[in-house]
Amino acid sequence: MPKDTKAPLAELLRVPEGERVDLASFDARATPAGPADKAAGLEATARMGERLADLQERLYAASTGGDRRRVLLVLQGMDTSGKGGTVKHVIGLFNPSGCRIKAFKTPTPEEQNHPFLWRIMKALPQPGEIGIFDRSHYEDVLIARVRELVPRSQLGRRYGQINRFEKSLAHDGVTVIKCFLHISAEEQRERLLERLDRPDKHWKFNPGDIDERALWPAYQEAYEIALERCSTEASPWYVIPSDRKWYRNWAISKLLLEHLEAIDPQYPMADFDVAECRKRLVEGV
Amino acid sequence: MPKDTKAPLAELLRVPEGERVDLASFDARATPAGPADKAAGLEATARMGERLADLQERLYAASTGGDRRRVLLVLQGMDTSGKGGTVKHVIGLFNPSGCRIKAFKTPTPEEQNHPFLWRIMKALPQPGEIGIFDRSHYEDVLIARVRELVPRSQLGRRYGQINRFEKSLAHDGVTVIKCFLHISAEEQRERLLERLDRPDKHWKFNPGDIDERALWPAYQEAYEIALERCSTEASPWYVIPSDRKWYRNWAISKLLLEHLEAIDPQYPMADFDVAECRKRLVEGV
């Protein structure tokens, strides 16, 4: 990846369509195009808050005038990679009333009786909203692949189904921003150990996380395949170096900012007689 | 209302059970027990943020250990009273992933075919969450009363239905905090005029708001009746002087803080062998 700080961050972090992905070649501690250090990163992220909230309000306002556009941020990554932290620190910069957050867990029996995209469609953002998926339909080609939850032929069809689904979202005005929070195995060990060391973090720990960790190489491979097959023009994947939390938060905030600026939502024109309303208000009770 | 700054704000602002309510006697510009001025108010509210977010995390963590408790903030008030602003500025202090926000609009045909509490029950917070209702089941005794949307006898039964419903919520661990955002008619006029003066606020304006405003006395009466009949031990109403936005935000933040401190949620104990997990992590791959 060329280090050109003038290029939009999206160009720098996106997975080129159809290209093979080797996650081992991505440094999870890197800070491409990022601020110089943690202090500068925290400040830069906070400074983006006002602009993000302003663009969000415009996006919502535009929807009241018929604009169907909206944003969907998809967060994927291994345990402790910071999906929840991103929601807290990045989505926390927005007005919560315009955010539709959905954390996908193990499918319920009802969800399992439907096609895998069924529960996804029910959770999509409405026009004007910013949707956030903490895990997503990608679990159906990640854990489903690693744990062999479905026959290989069915799994193989899902990549195409996902691409067609995401293309239909793009046509419907949904800007999908898919972020893979890339952490190193060593960083995950540190974060899991910290959860064990602190009683106020025990609730976040599950011994099953260690079993999943043992499948690290299989998961990395499953991610490589998903990133390679499903980073499309309509809906690219971004690899976010996430060993440094401040960089992760800065980078995702910046990606959201770049996409919202590209959408450039506009306040709608009044569809009523402003002068007449003003007169009624001033002269009325 | 006695001005005793040591008394919890909840005691100061709550509507005593069974007491007649005369809204004209409440000064919407008052700042009972509040900070000295706007600057101090903004600072005090921001300072509560960390403590609120900490208590919210504890509440959520406790739910993973089986604690069913949760909070439901109900916001009611005339147009421009600041329901949306409260969500933005007060709920914005929390981690958005633990907040379940629902804005109730005119009932859909499907909702109208169900009892009025049906859509309310579907939107309740889950254990560990903070639910926020921007408008609520109270619309069914407010606009429904003023606009005579249902026969008077049916309307009369709804107050008891609401009280029984809210009592059942309390039994199920839901702390309901009902806030009436009290503004003066003059303040509403100013705020509506501001929306007309600013093109970036036109999207928030609806000429129908002026028609509703003409029914101001009828709405005040409907609120008085609802506050009187439905401020119960299990689920009291609070009157929030809301002509000053900084006071409104401070007061609602403080009410949330007092209630969360009373809940006093605790991190759950680990239900796994911490030492064993630590050993597996250190010795594993």
Q: Which is it for the CA torsion A102, B105, B245, B80, positive or negative?
A: positive
**Integer Cα distance of B37 and B41 in angstroms:** 6
pLDDT of residue A6: 60
Contacting residues of B for A285, CB less than 8 Å apart: 185, 213-214, 216
pLDDT at residue A1 tops 80: no
pLDDT at residue B260 tops 90: yes
Chain-chain contact of B200 with A267 (C-beta, under 8 angstroms): yes
**Spatial contact of A129 and A100, defined as CB atoms under 8 Å apart:** yes
Query: Measured in whole angstroms, how far is the alpha carbon of residue B261 from the centre of its chain?
Result: 17
**Integer Cα distance of A278 and B164 in angstroms:** 44
Say how many CB pairs under 8 Å bridge A and B.
Answer: 118
State the CB neighbour count (10 A cutoff) for residue A94: 21
pLDDT band of A3, cuts 50, 70, 90: very low
pLDDT band of A285, cuts 50, 70, 90: low
Nearest C-alpha of chain B: how many angstroms from A128? Answer: 13
Mean pLDDT value across residues A66-70: 98
Residue A214 has its nearest CB partner, among B87, B92, B285, at B285
Per DSSP bridges, beta strands A174-182 and A130-134 are unpaired
**Spatial contact of B97 and A87, defined as CB atoms under 8 Å apart:** yes
pLDDT at residue A2 tops 90: no
pLDDT band of B4, cuts 50, 70, 90: very low
pLDDT of residue A4: 47
* Residues whose CB is less than 8 angstroms from the CB of residue B157 and which lie 6 or more positions away in sequence, other chains included: none
pLDDT of residue B285: 66
CATH number of B9-283: 3.40.50.300
**Spatial contact of A192 and A210, defined as CB atoms under 8 Å apart:** yes
Mean pLDDT value across residues B66-94: 98
**Spatial contact of B145 and B155, defined as CB atoms under 8 Å apart:** yes
In degrees rounded to 5, what are phi and psi of residue B73? -95, 120
**Integer Cα distance of A14 and A2 in angstroms:** 12
DSSP-derived letter for residue A285 is -
* Residues whose CB is less than 8 angstroms from the CB of residue B237 and which lie 6 or more positions away in sequence, other chains included: B14, B15, B178, B179, B180, B226, B227, B230, B231
Which residue bears the tokens 């900012």? A257
Nearest C-alpha of chain B: how many angstroms from A156? Answer: 29
**Spatial contact of B254 and B48, defined as CB atoms under 8 Å apart:** yes
In degrees rounded to 5, what are phi and psi of residue B117? -85, -5
**Integer Cα distance of B27 and B29 in angstroms:** 5
Domain ranges of chain B: 9-283
**Integer Cα distance of B36 and B261 in angstroms:** 24
Contacting residues of A for B212, CB less than 8 Å apart: none
Contacting residues of A for B186, CB less than 8 Å apart: none
Q: Which is it for the CA torsion B245, B248, B251, B254, positive or negative?
A: negative
Q: Could you read off the pLDDT of B150-179 as tens digits, one per residue?
A: 999 999 999 999 999 999 999 999 999 999
DSSP-derived letter for residue A204 is G
Contacting residues of B for A88, CB less than 8 Å apart: 95-97
Angle CA B268–B272–B274, to nearest 5: 95
**Spatial contact of A87 and A134, defined as CB atoms under 8 Å apart:** yes
Q: Could you read off the pLDDT of B192-238 as tens digits, one per residue?
A: 999 999 999 999 999 999 999 999 999 999 999 999 999 999 999 99
Contacting residues of B for A54, CB less than 8 Å apart: none
Strands in A99-103's sheet, in edge-to-edge order, are A99-103, A130-134, A70-77, A174-182, A237-241
pLDDT band of A284, cuts 50, 70, 90: confident
Mean pLDDT value across residues A140-145: 98
pLDDT of residue B226: 98
Amino acid at B168: S
pLDDT at residue A16 tops 70: yes
**Spatial contact of B277 and A204, defined as CB atoms under 8 Å apart:** no
Any alpha helices (H) in B133-215, and if so which ranges? Answer: 143-146, 152-171, 185-197, 208-214
pLDDT of residue B6: 60
State the CB neighbour count (10 A cutoff) for residue B104: 17
Chain-chain contact of A96 with B94 (C-beta, under 8 angstroms): yes
Q: Could you read off the pLDDT of B25-50 as tens digits, one per residue?
A: 999 999 999 999 999 999 999 999 99
**Integer Cα distance of B165 and B230 in angstroms:** 11
**Integer Cα distance of A60 and A98 in angstroms:** 7
Contacting residues of B for A205, CB less than 8 Å apart: 270, 272, 277
Nearest C-alpha of chain B: how many angstroms from A157? Answer: 32
pLDDT at residue A45 tops 80: yes
pLDDT of residue B61: 98
**Integer Cα distance of A138 and A223 in angstroms:** 9
Percent of chain B topping pLDDT 90:
96
Determine the 3-state secondary structure of A79 from DSSP. Answer: coil
Q: Which of B133, B136, B45, B129 is nearest to B92 (CA)?
A: B45
Distance in angstroms between the alpha carbons of the first and the last residue of chain B: 65
**Integer Cα distance of A216 and A223 in angstroms:** 11
pLDDT of residue B1: 43
Q: Which residues numbered 68-87 in B keep a CB inside 8 Å of some CB on A? A: 84, 87
Q: Could you read off the pLDDT of A83-114 as tens digits, one per residue?
A: 999 999 999 999 999 999 999 999 999 999 99
If you count them, how many residues does chain B have? 285
**Integer Cα distance of A150 and A141 in angstroms:** 9
CATH architecture under which domain A16-283 falls: 3-Layer(aba) Sandwich (3.40)
In degrees rounded to 5, what are phi and psi of residue A181? -85, 100
Q: Which is it for the CA torsion A285, B1, B4, B9, positive or negative?
A: negative
Determine the 3-state secondary structure of A99 from DSSP. Answer: strand
Nearest C-alpha of chain A: how many angstroms from B261? Answer: 17
- Minimal-distance CA residue of chain A relative to B54: A200
Mean pLDDT value across residues B46-62: 98
Contacting residues of A for B128, CB less than 8 Å apart: none
Helix/strand/coil percent split, chain A, to 5: 55, 10, 35
Q: What is the ipTM of this complex?
A: 0.94
pLDDT at residue A163 tops 50: yes
Which residue bears the tokens 């599950």? A206
Q: Which residues numbered 225-264 in B keep a CB inside 8 Å of some CB on A? A: none
**Integer Cα distance of A101 and B281 in angstroms:** 32
State the CB neighbour count (10 A cutoff) for residue B251: 29
Residue B91 has its nearest CB partner, among A91, A96, A185, at A96
Q: What is the mean pLDDT of chain B?
A: 96
Beta-strand ranges (E) seen in chain A are 70-77, 99-103, 130-134, 174-182, 237-241
pLDDT of residue A214: 95
